[in-house]
């Protein structure tokens, strides 16, 4: 399993942790109100999209990327976010507030690769480390200088990492799997070399 730039729980808490308890409670309540009033959000969104602005670019840059991401990549992510229906965003906010899959991690029994950027402001490395502690067989890889869109910012390294992980997992399964002789009896595996 590959978990890239994600968390199991407490995302809203971790995002607002540096703001203090009072500000965090206010922002969580504001997010709940936002999620419960999609009509108002549609009106605000329509007004914002009708006026050209660099706000979407700035938000995407600050929340999704490290400092070296090319502007074209930031613009792409900003445009995808702007085109998403409001319900996607309100459902996302609701799930961020309510989600707690921490206990489910302890049931995962497959090798897991956790990938995060050290500059990820949405699902910070501390969330990735918390997941690693709860998984029985996990590797954590932190990309320096990358933000929330690690798989875009560092696509070549990310793809090589995932390919290597899959290859290692499959090779491990192959060497651990019993070999069946004709007739269904197990045949001992000979050591290579």
Q: What is the CATH number of the domain that holds 14?
A: 3.40.50.1820
Is 72 inside a domain boundary? yes
Question: What pLDDT is stored for residue 78 in this prediction?
Answer: 87
Is 7 inside a domain boundary? yes
**Which residues make Cβ contacts (< 8 Å) with residue 99, sequence separation at least 6?**
8, 9, 11
Q: Residue 121, SS3?
A: coil
The larger pLDDT score, comparing residue 14 to residue 39, is at 39
Residue labelled with tokens 């995002």: 15
Is the predicted pLDDT of residue 193 greater than 50, yes or no?
no
Is 93 inside a domain boundary? yes
Please state, for a pLDDT cut of 90, what percent of the chain lies above it. Answer: 33
Is 89 inside a domain boundary? yes
Nearest-angstrom CA–CA distance, 52 and 108: 46
Per-residue confidence band for 60, with pLDDT thresholds at 50, 70 and 90:
confident
Comparing 59-63, 69-73, 87-91, the range with the smallest average pLDDT is: 87-91
For the chain, the domain total comes to 1
Is 82 inside a domain boundary? yes
Is 15 inside a domain boundary? yes
Is 186 inside a domain boundary? no
- Cβ neighbours of 124 (radius 10 Å): 21
**Which residues make Cβ contacts (< 8 Å) with residue 102, sequence separation at least 6?**
8, 9, 130, 134
Kindly compute the dihedral angle of the four CA atoms of residues 38, 41, 43, 49, in this order, to the nearest 10 degrees.
-130
pTM: 0.71
Is 191 inside a domain boundary? no
- Cβ neighbours of 130 (radius 10 Å): 17
Question: pLDDT tens across 88-117, in order?
Answer: 777 777 776 677 777 888 899 999 999 999
Per-residue confidence band for 81, with pLDDT thresholds at 50, 70 and 90:
confident
Range of the domain at 40: 2-173
Average pLDDT over residues 166-183: 71
């Amino acid at each position: 399993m590959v978990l890239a730039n994600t968390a199991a729980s407490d995302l809203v808490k971790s995002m607002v942790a540096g703001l203090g308890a009072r500000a965090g409670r206010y922002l969580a309540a504001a997010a709940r109100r936002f999620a419960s009033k999609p009509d108002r959000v549609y009106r605000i969104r329509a007004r914002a999209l009708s006026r050209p602005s660099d706000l979407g670019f700035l938000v995407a840059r600050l929340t999704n990327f490290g400092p070296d991401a090319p502007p074209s990549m930031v613009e792409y992510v900003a445009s995808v976010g702007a085109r998403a229906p409001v319900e996607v965003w309100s459902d996302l906010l609701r799930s961020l507030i309510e989600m707690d899959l921490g206990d489910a991690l302890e049931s995962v029994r497959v090798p897991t690769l956790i990938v995060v950027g050290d500059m990820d402001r949405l699902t910070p490395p501390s969330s990735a480390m918390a997941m690693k502690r709860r998984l029985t067989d996990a590797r954590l890889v932190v990309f320096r200088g990358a933000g929330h869109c690690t798989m875009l910012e560092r696509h070549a390294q990310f793809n090589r990492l995932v390919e290597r992980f899959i290859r290692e997992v499959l090779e491990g399964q192959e060497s651990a799997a019993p070999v069946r002789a004709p007739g269904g009896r197990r045949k001992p595996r000979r050591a290579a070399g």
